[in-house]
Amino acid sequence: MNLEPETFSVEVASRFAQFGLQCVFQEYPHVHCYWLESDADLIPHRQLNPAFYGCLDWHSAVHNHWMLTRLIRYFPEADFVSSAREIFNQNLTPKNIKAETKFLQSQPRFECPYGLAWFLQLMAELTEWEDEQAQDLLEDLHPLQTIVINNLHNWLLTLSYPNRTGLHNQTAFALGLIWDWAKITHYQQLLDEIEYKARKFYHQDYNYSLHCEPLGYDFLSPCLAEADLMRRVLPASEFAEWLTIFLPKLPQEFKIDGFHPITVNNPEDYGQSHFDGLNLSRAWMLDGIISGLSPGDNRIPALEVVANLHRQVGLNPVSGNFYGGSHWLGSFAVYLGTKRGLTLKNY
């Protein structure tokens, strides 16, 4: 059954699918950050991470595999489907996953939390996909999932303060992705841990100023990611009250020029490409906040206007024509376009 979203056509999806198809096998340029004890640990990333070695970095390789999985589910007859399925056959083999598992066991802080959260999004997608290949992949990836969950669990236990930046290590965004996986798989222990940390870190926050964003080269909004997490964790009535305290100037503060979509002046700059991603993530987080409010909430019209403006700009990323943007922006566009953050099961 074709489940094409009303505003996300197969033509648009195909453009972003090409981003992933082109980069998952591209070995260089590459950024690899892990702990070294000696010269003996200087091993090419293709050997350490034979499943997720492309797309500039490990996390981008992971969420491009997620993106291709998501797109196959939505557009099963699209031209890119056979190529995407072949990528899974080549990259996600038991041998490659065994090597990935061994590496994450030896590097418990590697890609924690951002990349590991995206890995659980991949597992969530495969879990909901009623497909023979998907079920085989779930079985093959299960050992790696076990290590990922263990590493995230240990990270959460020792996390004393949240990361409130707009980059990879931001706490709220990762917790939102992990929460959705835990909901789909009924992993109650992790749900309880996330709710405890979210309430501890964010429940007493108040009077945030939207005009302070973005910070540097953000691709995530600190305040919107926090609110998008809290709408998952809190009951609807409690979330509405919390949002009033957290962002008391809504919707008036949206009139400030600083919260319009961000313009990329140099699309070849890797840092500035983050602004294309920021427009996309702002749009889906605003959609998420709206979904957590009652239909009659008087803040919704302004939230919808700003979300739609960011969506229109974000789905035409100027940096997508260069590797600095193309190696990851497709995933963000598909997450927005298929409304992944709004429902746990779209069919």
**pLDDT at residue 300, rounded to an integer:** 94
Mean of pLDDT over the chain: 93
**pLDDT at residue 345, rounded to an integer:** 45
Distance between CA atoms of residues 156 and 105, nearest Å: 17
Distance between CA atoms of residues 283 and 29, nearest Å: 30
What pTM does this model have?
0.95
**pLDDT at residue 5, rounded to an integer:** 47
**pLDDT at residue 66, rounded to an integer:** 98
**pLDDT at residue 256, rounded to an integer:** 60
Distance between CA atoms of residues 299 and 319, nearest Å: 32
Distance between CA atoms of residues 179 and 28, nearest Å: 33
| Number of alpha carbons in the 13 Å side-chain half-sphere of residue 286 | 26
**pLDDT at residue 8, rounded to an integer:** 84
Interval 306-318: pLDDT, tens: 999 999 999 999 9
Enumerate residue ranges in the chain where pLDDT < 70: 1-7, 256-258, 344-347
**pLDDT at residue 258, rounded to an integer:** 64
